[in-house]
């Protein structure tokens, strides 16, 4: 996990330098001077929030990902996989 400890580095410079190590879903939006957090669900983008700091954005992202994973796991446990064809399983997973 990458963190922003150097207070002399601007958010924009931090984003440029460490972009490849920042999770997909966390972006620095220089026009707003805010960190944007979003998730991807079934091929669509779900905007979550803007944050003033990378640390808050990272926490928000991790919490949302954990909830998304938990929700998906609960839906998979509710399904009786023995009675579903592969096609219906794929359709169901696409709606998660």
Strand partners, 26: 37
Which pair of structure tokens corresponds to residue 92? 């169901």
Per-residue pLDDT of 55-65, as tens digits, reads 999 999 999 99
The predicted model scores a pTM of 0.70
Across the range 23-45, mean pLDDT stands at: 92
Coil, strand, or helix at residue 79? coil
Cβ atoms 74, 23 nearer than 8 A: no
16 vs 3: which has the higher pLDDT: 16
Return the SS3 of 47.
strand
Cβ partners under 8 Å of residue 33, min gap 6: 11
The two tokens of residue 36 are 């944007």
pLDDT at 8: 78
């Amino acid at each position: 996990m990458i963190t922003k400890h150097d207070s002399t580095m601007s958010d924009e410079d931090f984003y440029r330098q460490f972009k490849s190590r920042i999770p997909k879903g966390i972006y620095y939006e220089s026009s707003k001077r805010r960190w944007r957090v979003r998730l991807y669900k079934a091929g669509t983008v779900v905007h979550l929030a803007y944050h003033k700091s990378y640390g808050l954005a990272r926490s928000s992202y991790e919490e949302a990902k954990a909830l998304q994973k938990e929700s998906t796991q609960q839906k998979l446990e509710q399904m009786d996989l023995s009675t579903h064809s592969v096609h219906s399983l794929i359709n169901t997973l696409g709606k998660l």
